[in-house]
Amino acid sequence: MLQRVDTAVPVELQGATKTYGDTTVLEQIDLELAEGESLVLLGHNGAGKTTLFKLLLGLVRPSAGQVRVFGEDPGTAAAVARRAALGYLPESIAFDEAMTGHELLKFYAGLKGVGGAACSQLLARVGIAEAADRRISTWSKGMRQRLGLAQAMLGSPRILLLDEPTSGLDPVLRSTLYEIVESLRADGVAVLISSHALSEVEAHADRIAILQQGRLLACGTVQALREQAALPVYLRLACTPQMAASIANQFDSRAVVRCVGAQQVEIECAYADKMNLLRDIAGLGDAVLDVDIKVPGLDELYAHFTAQVRA
Protein backbone atom coordinates (compact mmCIF):
# COMPACT_ATOMS: atom_id res chain seq x y z
CA MET A 1 0.00 0.00 0.00
CA LEU A 2 1.30 3.45 -0.94
CA GLN A 3 1.92 5.99 1.80
CA ARG A 4 -0.29 9.05 1.86
CA VAL A 5 1.46 12.40 1.79
CA ASP A 6 -1.20 14.46 3.58
CA THR A 7 -4.84 15.42 3.32
CA ALA A 8 -4.33 18.36 0.95
CA VAL A 9 -5.91 18.26 -2.51
CA PRO A 10 -3.27 16.71 -4.81
CA VAL A 11 -3.63 19.35 -7.55
CA GLU A 12 -5.35 22.71 -7.45
CA LEU A 13 -5.20 25.57 -9.94
CA GLN A 14 -7.01 28.84 -9.26
CA GLY A 15 -7.02 31.43 -12.01
CA ALA A 16 -3.71 30.02 -13.27
CA THR A 17 -2.40 32.11 -16.15
CA LYS A 18 0.86 31.84 -18.05
CA THR A 19 2.11 34.42 -20.53
CA TYR A 20 5.29 34.73 -22.54
CA GLY A 21 5.59 38.36 -23.57
CA ASP A 22 2.36 39.23 -25.37
CA THR A 23 1.39 35.59 -25.83
CA THR A 24 -1.04 34.01 -23.36
CA VAL A 25 -0.50 30.26 -23.19
CA LEU A 26 -2.90 29.55 -20.31
CA GLU A 27 -5.68 31.88 -19.22
CA GLN A 28 -7.58 31.79 -15.90
CA ILE A 29 -7.50 28.00 -15.42
CA ASP A 30 -9.52 26.69 -12.47
CA LEU A 31 -8.98 22.96 -12.03
CA GLU A 32 -8.69 20.35 -9.29
CA LEU A 33 -7.48 16.76 -9.26
CA ALA A 34 -8.64 14.62 -6.36
CA GLU A 35 -7.00 11.61 -4.74
CA GLY A 36 -7.61 8.46 -6.78
CA GLU A 37 -9.12 10.43 -9.66
CA SER A 38 -8.28 10.14 -13.35
CA LEU A 39 -8.57 13.44 -15.20
CA VAL A 40 -7.94 13.52 -18.96
CA LEU A 41 -6.73 16.69 -20.69
CA LEU A 42 -7.82 17.07 -24.30
CA GLY A 43 -6.66 19.75 -26.69
CA HIS A 44 -4.94 20.35 -30.01
CA ASN A 45 -1.20 20.95 -30.11
CA GLY A 46 -0.60 24.39 -28.62
CA ALA A 47 -3.72 24.28 -26.44
CA GLY A 48 -1.63 24.62 -23.27
CA LYS A 49 -1.48 21.04 -21.99
CA THR A 50 2.31 20.82 -21.78
CA THR A 51 2.52 24.23 -20.11
CA LEU A 52 0.02 23.05 -17.50
CA PHE A 53 2.25 20.04 -16.80
CA LYS A 54 5.27 22.33 -16.46
CA LEU A 55 3.41 24.45 -13.92
CA LEU A 56 2.66 21.38 -11.82
CA LEU A 57 6.26 20.23 -12.06
CA GLY A 58 7.52 23.63 -10.94
CA LEU A 59 9.50 24.08 -14.16
CA VAL A 60 7.72 27.37 -14.89
CA ARG A 61 5.85 29.77 -12.62
CA PRO A 62 2.37 31.15 -13.26
CA SER A 63 2.17 34.75 -14.44
CA ALA A 64 -1.00 35.12 -12.37
CA GLY A 65 -3.18 32.94 -10.18
CA GLN A 66 -2.15 30.01 -8.02
CA VAL A 67 -0.86 26.49 -8.62
CA ARG A 68 -0.78 24.11 -5.68
CA VAL A 69 0.49 20.53 -5.46
CA PHE A 70 -0.45 19.00 -2.12
CA GLY A 71 -1.19 22.52 -0.93
CA GLU A 72 2.23 23.94 -1.83
CA ASP A 73 3.61 26.04 -4.66
CA PRO A 74 5.58 23.47 -6.72
CA GLY A 75 8.08 26.11 -7.81
CA THR A 76 9.46 26.82 -4.35
CA ALA A 77 12.49 25.25 -2.70
CA ALA A 78 10.24 23.84 0.04
CA ALA A 79 8.38 21.79 -2.57
CA VAL A 80 11.51 20.05 -3.85
CA ALA A 81 11.35 17.56 -0.98
CA ARG A 82 7.92 16.49 -2.24
CA ARG A 83 9.12 15.70 -5.78
CA ALA A 84 9.29 11.98 -5.00
CA ALA A 85 5.51 12.11 -4.61
CA LEU A 86 5.11 13.11 -8.26
CA GLY A 87 5.79 10.98 -11.33
CA TYR A 88 6.00 12.31 -14.87
CA LEU A 89 5.99 10.58 -18.25
CA PRO A 90 6.79 13.14 -20.99
CA GLU A 91 5.41 12.86 -24.50
CA SER A 92 8.86 12.67 -26.10
CA ILE A 93 11.25 10.30 -24.35
CA ALA A 94 14.99 10.47 -24.97
CA PHE A 95 17.11 7.91 -23.12
CA ASP A 96 20.85 7.23 -23.21
CA GLU A 97 20.83 4.33 -25.66
CA ALA A 98 24.21 3.02 -24.48
CA MET A 99 22.70 2.09 -21.10
CA THR A 100 20.67 -1.00 -20.35
CA GLY A 101 17.11 -0.64 -19.13
CA HIS A 102 18.07 -1.63 -15.60
CA GLU A 103 21.03 0.77 -15.53
CA LEU A 104 18.93 3.67 -16.70
CA LEU A 105 16.13 3.02 -14.21
CA LYS A 106 18.69 2.84 -11.36
CA PHE A 107 20.12 6.16 -12.57
CA TYR A 108 16.69 7.80 -12.37
CA ALA A 109 16.08 6.22 -8.98
CA GLY A 110 19.25 7.87 -7.72
CA LEU A 111 18.17 11.26 -9.11
CA LYS A 112 14.86 10.92 -7.34
CA GLY A 113 16.47 9.88 -4.07
CA VAL A 114 14.88 6.45 -4.24
CA GLY A 115 16.64 3.16 -3.55
CA GLY A 116 17.26 0.97 -6.57
CA ALA A 117 15.78 -2.18 -5.04
CA ALA A 118 12.39 -1.61 -6.69
CA CYS A 119 13.78 -1.25 -10.21
CA SER A 120 13.51 -4.93 -11.13
CA GLN A 121 9.93 -5.05 -9.84
CA LEU A 122 8.96 -1.99 -11.86
CA LEU A 123 10.55 -3.37 -15.03
CA ALA A 124 8.56 -6.56 -14.56
CA ARG A 125 5.37 -4.65 -13.82
CA VAL A 126 5.52 -2.78 -17.13
CA GLY A 127 6.43 -5.96 -19.01
CA ILE A 128 10.06 -5.41 -20.04
CA ALA A 129 11.97 -7.44 -17.43
CA GLU A 130 13.31 -9.82 -20.10
CA ALA A 131 15.01 -6.88 -21.86
CA ALA A 132 16.35 -5.22 -18.69
CA ASP A 133 19.99 -6.11 -19.40
CA ARG A 134 19.92 -5.18 -23.09
CA ARG A 135 21.09 -1.81 -24.36
CA ILE A 136 18.21 0.61 -24.97
CA SER A 137 19.49 1.10 -28.54
CA THR A 138 18.05 -2.37 -29.31
CA TRP A 139 14.61 -1.56 -27.90
CA SER A 140 11.43 -0.75 -29.82
CA LYS A 141 9.54 2.50 -29.33
CA GLY A 142 6.88 0.69 -27.31
CA MET A 143 9.48 -0.78 -24.96
CA ARG A 144 10.98 2.67 -24.40
CA GLN A 145 7.54 4.03 -23.64
CA ARG A 146 7.07 1.35 -20.99
CA LEU A 147 10.49 2.19 -19.54
CA GLY A 148 9.30 5.79 -19.34
CA LEU A 149 6.26 4.66 -17.39
CA ALA A 150 8.51 2.68 -15.02
CA GLN A 151 10.62 5.76 -14.27
CA ALA A 152 7.45 7.78 -13.65
CA MET A 153 6.39 5.18 -11.06
CA LEU A 154 9.66 5.35 -9.12
CA GLY A 155 9.18 6.26 -5.48
CA SER A 156 5.48 5.29 -5.33
CA PRO A 157 4.22 8.71 -6.51
CA ARG A 158 0.91 10.10 -5.27
CA ILE A 159 0.41 12.09 -8.47
CA LEU A 160 1.10 10.68 -11.93
CA LEU A 161 1.36 13.03 -14.92
CA LEU A 162 1.14 11.12 -18.21
CA ASP A 163 1.66 13.01 -21.47
CA GLU A 164 0.46 10.86 -24.40
CA PRO A 165 1.27 7.65 -22.46
CA THR A 166 0.16 5.15 -25.12
CA SER A 167 2.19 6.63 -27.98
CA GLY A 168 3.92 3.78 -29.78
CA LEU A 169 2.07 1.02 -27.94
CA ASP A 170 0.03 -1.67 -29.66
CA PRO A 171 -3.56 -2.35 -28.45
CA VAL A 172 -2.49 -5.13 -26.05
CA LEU A 173 0.16 -2.98 -24.42
CA ARG A 174 -2.22 -0.03 -24.24
CA SER A 175 -4.60 -2.21 -22.29
CA THR A 176 -1.75 -3.26 -19.99
CA LEU A 177 -0.83 0.37 -19.34
CA TYR A 178 -4.38 1.28 -18.36
CA GLU A 179 -4.57 -1.77 -16.08
CA ILE A 180 -1.50 -0.41 -14.27
CA VAL A 181 -3.07 3.06 -14.08
CA GLU A 182 -6.28 1.60 -12.64
CA SER A 183 -4.34 -0.30 -9.97
CA LEU A 184 -2.52 2.90 -8.98
CA ARG A 185 -5.81 4.78 -8.76
CA ALA A 186 -7.17 2.08 -6.48
CA ASP A 187 -4.29 2.95 -4.14
CA GLY A 188 -5.32 6.60 -4.20
CA VAL A 189 -2.90 7.92 -6.83
CA ALA A 190 -4.21 11.00 -8.66
CA VAL A 191 -3.66 10.62 -12.42
CA LEU A 192 -3.58 13.41 -15.00
CA ILE A 193 -3.45 12.18 -18.60
CA SER A 194 -2.93 14.22 -21.75
CA SER A 195 -4.01 12.33 -24.86
CA HIS A 196 -5.17 12.62 -28.46
CA ALA A 197 -6.64 9.09 -28.37
CA LEU A 198 -10.15 10.23 -27.49
CA SER A 199 -12.04 6.96 -27.91
CA GLU A 200 -9.34 5.16 -25.92
CA VAL A 201 -9.33 7.41 -22.83
CA GLU A 202 -13.11 7.75 -22.52
CA ALA A 203 -13.37 4.48 -20.59
CA HIS A 204 -10.54 5.44 -18.23
CA ALA A 205 -11.50 8.98 -17.25
CA ASP A 206 -13.49 10.13 -14.24
CA ARG A 207 -13.57 13.59 -15.77
CA ILE A 208 -12.58 15.24 -19.04
CA ALA A 209 -11.03 18.72 -19.31
CA ILE A 210 -11.02 20.34 -22.76
CA LEU A 211 -8.41 23.03 -23.44
CA GLN A 212 -8.38 25.29 -26.47
CA GLN A 213 -6.10 28.26 -27.07
CA GLY A 214 -5.11 28.26 -23.40
CA ARG A 215 -8.66 28.36 -22.07
CA LEU A 216 -10.62 25.67 -20.27
CA LEU A 217 -13.73 25.19 -22.41
CA ALA A 218 -15.41 22.46 -20.37
CA CYS A 219 -14.68 20.06 -17.55
CA GLY A 220 -16.79 17.24 -16.16
CA THR A 221 -17.81 13.63 -16.54
CA VAL A 222 -18.63 12.41 -20.03
CA GLN A 223 -22.32 12.37 -19.06
CA ALA A 224 -22.12 15.96 -17.79
CA LEU A 225 -20.45 17.05 -21.02
CA ARG A 226 -23.20 15.33 -23.03
CA GLU A 227 -25.84 17.21 -21.09
CA GLN A 228 -23.96 20.49 -21.50
CA ALA A 229 -23.41 20.00 -25.24
CA ALA A 230 -27.06 18.99 -25.83
CA LEU A 231 -26.10 16.96 -28.90
CA PRO A 232 -28.79 14.58 -30.17
CA VAL A 233 -29.10 10.91 -29.32
CA TYR A 234 -30.16 8.42 -32.00
CA LEU A 235 -32.35 5.40 -31.28
CA ARG A 236 -32.55 2.85 -34.11
CA LEU A 237 -35.49 0.46 -33.75
CA ALA A 238 -35.69 -2.87 -35.58
CA CYS A 239 -39.41 -3.62 -36.01
CA THR A 240 -41.52 -6.55 -37.08
CA PRO A 241 -42.36 -6.50 -40.83
CA GLN A 242 -44.41 -3.52 -42.04
CA MET A 243 -44.65 -1.96 -38.54
CA ALA A 244 -42.17 0.88 -39.02
CA ALA A 245 -44.67 3.51 -40.17
CA SER A 246 -47.13 2.69 -37.38
CA ILE A 247 -44.43 2.89 -34.71
CA ALA A 248 -42.99 6.09 -36.16
CA ASN A 249 -46.39 7.79 -35.91
CA GLN A 250 -46.41 7.20 -32.14
CA PHE A 251 -43.25 9.29 -31.60
CA ASP A 252 -43.26 11.95 -34.32
CA SER A 253 -44.77 14.60 -32.04
CA ARG A 254 -41.92 14.31 -29.49
CA ALA A 255 -38.82 13.79 -31.62
CA VAL A 256 -37.43 13.74 -35.14
CA VAL A 257 -38.51 10.37 -36.52
CA ARG A 258 -37.49 8.69 -39.79
CA CYS A 259 -38.56 5.37 -41.26
CA VAL A 260 -35.63 3.43 -42.67
CA GLY A 261 -37.32 0.90 -44.87
CA ALA A 262 -40.25 -1.25 -43.76
CA GLN A 263 -38.58 -2.62 -40.63
CA GLN A 264 -36.51 0.19 -39.08
CA VAL A 265 -37.27 3.48 -37.37
CA GLU A 266 -34.69 6.08 -36.36
CA ILE A 267 -35.56 8.50 -33.56
CA GLU A 268 -33.44 11.61 -33.02
CA CYS A 269 -33.99 13.05 -29.56
CA ALA A 270 -32.45 15.20 -26.86
CA TYR A 271 -30.17 13.42 -24.38
CA ALA A 272 -32.56 14.33 -21.53
CA ASP A 273 -35.46 12.61 -23.34
CA LYS A 274 -33.68 9.33 -24.01
CA MET A 275 -34.88 7.35 -20.99
CA ASN A 276 -38.53 8.38 -21.31
CA LEU A 277 -38.53 7.33 -24.96
CA LEU A 278 -36.88 4.00 -24.12
CA ARG A 279 -39.58 3.30 -21.54
CA ASP A 280 -42.25 3.97 -24.15
CA ILE A 281 -40.44 1.80 -26.69
CA ALA A 282 -40.32 -1.05 -24.16
CA GLY A 283 -44.10 -0.76 -23.89
CA LEU A 284 -44.50 -1.63 -27.57
CA GLY A 285 -43.76 -5.26 -26.76
CA ASP A 286 -43.01 -7.69 -29.58
CA ALA A 287 -43.46 -5.04 -32.27
CA VAL A 288 -39.87 -3.90 -31.52
CA LEU A 289 -37.25 -6.59 -32.07
CA ASP A 290 -34.16 -4.61 -31.06
CA VAL A 291 -32.96 -1.10 -30.15
CA ASP A 292 -29.57 0.36 -30.97
CA ILE A 293 -28.61 3.51 -29.01
CA LYS A 294 -26.01 5.96 -30.30
CA VAL A 295 -25.04 8.67 -27.82
CA PRO A 296 -22.43 11.35 -28.54
CA GLY A 297 -18.95 9.95 -28.02
CA LEU A 298 -15.93 11.85 -26.79
CA ASP A 299 -14.83 12.60 -30.36
CA GLU A 300 -18.13 14.37 -31.05
CA LEU A 301 -18.12 16.20 -27.72
CA TYR A 302 -14.58 17.43 -28.28
CA ALA A 303 -15.44 18.61 -31.79
CA HIS A 304 -18.53 20.40 -30.46
CA PHE A 305 -16.77 22.38 -27.74
CA THR A 306 -13.70 23.31 -29.81
CA ALA A 307 -15.83 24.31 -32.82
CA GLN A 308 -17.55 26.92 -30.64
CA VAL A 309 -14.19 28.64 -30.09
CA ARG A 310 -13.15 28.43 -33.76
CA ALA A 311 -16.49 29.94 -34.76
Query: For the chain, what percentages of helix, strand and coil (3-state, to nearest 5) are there?
Result: 40, 25, 35
Report the predicted TM-score, pTM, of the whole model to 2 decimal places: 0.87
Three-state secondary-structure class, residue 36: coil
- Helix ranges (H only) for 11-115 are 49-57, 101-111
- Among 206, 226, 246, the domain-final residue is 226
pLDDT reported for residue 172: 82
pLDDT reported for residue 6: 53
Q: Do 69 and 168 have their domain in common?
A: yes
CATH code (residue 205): 3.40.50.300
Q: Do 41 and 132 have their domain in common?
A: yes
Q: Do 93 and 218 have their domain in common?
A: yes
Q: Do 74 and 172 have their domain in common?
A: yes
Q: Do 195 and 242 have their domain in common?
A: no
Q: Do 237 and 125 have their domain in common?
A: no
In-domain check, residue 277:
yes
In-domain check, residue 166:
yes
Q: Do 200 and 130 have their domain in common?
A: yes
In-domain check, residue 124:
yes
CATH code (residue 265): 3.30.70.1650
The whole-number mean pLDDT for each consecutive block of 10 residues of the chain, a chain of 311 residues, reads 59 96 96 96 92 94 95 82 83 90 94 85 92 94 90 92 85 85 92 88 92 95 93 95 90 88 92 92 94 94 84 50
In-domain check, residue 216:
yes
Sign of CA dihedral 121, 123, 129, 135: negative
Integer angstrom CA distances of residue 190 from 28, 33, 162: 22, 7, 11
In-domain check, residue 288:
yes
Q: Do 278 and 250 have their domain in common?
A: yes
pLDDT reported for residue 192: 96
pLDDT reported for residue 309: 62
Q: Do 57 and 163 have their domain in common?
A: yes
In-domain check, residue 310:
no
- Among 198, 226, 254, the domain-final residue is 226
Q: Do 135 and 67 have their domain in common?
A: yes
Write out the residue range of the structural domain in which residue 204 sits: 11-226
Q: Do 73 and 194 have their domain in common?
A: yes
- Per the structure, how many domains does the chain have? 2
In-domain check, residue 308:
no
- Among 226, 260, 287, the domain-final residue is 226
Q: Do 17 and 113 have their domain in common?
A: yes
Residue 158's Cβ-count burial label (10 Å; 0-12, 13-18, 19+) is buried
The contacts of residue 96 (CB under 8 Å, 6+ apart) are: 104, 136
Sheet order of strands, 256-259 included: 256-259, 264-269, 233-239, 288-294
pLDDT reported for residue 253: 82
In-domain check, residue 257:
yes
